[in-house]
Amino acid sequence: MQPRVCFSLHQLLLLLPVLFAWAIILATDQCTLAATVNQGGQILDNDLSNESTGDIANSGPELARNYMDALLADPAAARTKLCGNFTKRSKVAVIYTCFERMEMIQKSLPSVFRSKGIEDFDVFISQDGITTSIFDDETFSIPSNMRHVYIHHPVNLCTGLHMHFVKSFAFDIMGYDILLIVEEDNVLHPQALQLLARMAELSVAEADVGVVSILDMDMSAFLDAGRFGVGLIPVRPTTGHLWVYGIHRVKYDIIRPMMHAYYDVIKGYDYTTKHKPPLKFKIERLLMQHGFPASSPLSQDRFFLNSLAKANFTKRYQTLFRFFEPIGSYGLHFKHNSSFFQGMFGRNMYAGTVDPQAAFDVTKDPRNVEAIRDGVRERLTNLIMKYRKAKPSDELVGNTFDSLMAGRLQGQTVVQNIQGTNKVPPSPPPPPPPQTVVVCTTSTGVVSNGGTAREAAVAAAYGDAKMMTTSKRRLE
Summarised one tens digit per residue, pLDDT across range 442-469 is 332 323 333 333 334 444 444 333 323 2
Number of domains within the chain = 2
C-alpha 372 chain-centroid distance: 27
Same domain, 238 and 267: yes
Spatial distance between the Cα atoms of 21 and 31, rounded to a whole number of angstroms: 12
Cβ–Cβ < 8 Å for 418, 388: yes
Cα–Cα nearest to 323, from 184, 191, 181, 174 = 191
For every residue of 31-65, which 3-state class applies, written as one string?
HCECCEECCCCCEECCECCCCCCHHHHCCCHHHHH
> Is residue 350 situated within a structural domain?
no
Do the domain assignments include residue 225? yes
- Spatial separation of the C-alpha atoms in residues 368 and 362, rounded to whole Å: 6
* Residue at which a domain ends, from 278, 311, 345: 345
Instruction: Return the pLDDT at 346.
Output: 66
Is the residue at 357 inside a domain? Answer: no
**111 inside domain:** yes
The verdict on 305 and 441 lying in the same domain is no
Query: What is the C-alpha separation between 83 and 95, in angstroms, rounded?
Result: 13
The gap from C-alpha 13 to its chain's centroid, in whole angstroms, comes to 39
Residues 191 and 301 in one domain: yes
Domain assignment of residue 360, yes or no = no
Domain assignment present for 173: yes
Question: At which of 313, 345, 377 does a domain end?
Answer: 345
Q: What is the mean pLDDT of residues 319-332?
A: 83
Express each pLDDT in 172-211 by its tens digit: 999 999 999 999 999 999 999 999 999 999 999 999 999 9
The reply to whether 175 and 259 lie within a common domain is: yes
Q: Say what the pLDDT of residue 145 is.
A: 85
Of the CA atoms within 13 Å of residue 37, those in its CB half-sphere come to 9
Do 329 and 387 lie in one domain? The reply is: no
- Which run of H or of E encompasses 213? strand 209-213
Do 168 and 223 have their domain in common?
Answer: yes
pLDDT tens-digit map of 415-435? 989 998 765 554 444 444 333
Residues 288 and 428 in one domain: no
Distance CA 357, CA 195 (A): 7
Mean pLDDT of 155-165: 94
CB-facing half-sphere around the CA of 109: CA atoms within 13 A: 26
Out of 151-160, 254-263, 391-400, 407-416, pick the least confident: 407-416
- Indicate if the pLDDT at residue 332 is higher than 80: no
Closest to 186 in 3D by CA, of 242, 237, 143: 242
CATH number at residue 107: 3.90.550.10
Domain end among 289, 316, 345: 345
Vertex 318, ends 314 and 319: CA angle to 5°?
Answer: 165
pLDDT 10s digits, 362-419: 999 999 999 999 999 999 999 999 999 999 999 999 999 999 999 999 898 899 899 9
Do 306 and 372 lie in one domain? The reply is no
| Residue 264 and residue 313 in one domain | yes
Q: List the domain range (segments joined by +) for residue 459.
A: 366-472
The verdict on residue 187 lying in a domain is yes
Instruction: With respect to residue 34, please indicate whether it lies within any of the assigned structural domains.
Output: yes
CA–CA distance, 144 with 122 (Å, rounded to integer): 15
**What is the distance between the alpha carbons of residues 32 and 83, in angstroms, rounded to a whole number?**
8
Q: What is the mean pLDDT of residues 312-329?
A: 93
Question: What is the pTM (predicted TM-score) of this model?
Answer: 0.81
124-128 average pLDDT score: 96
Is residue 91 a contact partner of residue 176, using CB atoms and an 8 Å limit? yes
Is 69 found in the same domain as 203? Answer: yes
Same domain, 279 and 408: no
Average pLDDT over residues 299-308: 95
Is the pLDDT at 113 greater than 80, yes or no? yes
Same domain, 152 and 279: yes
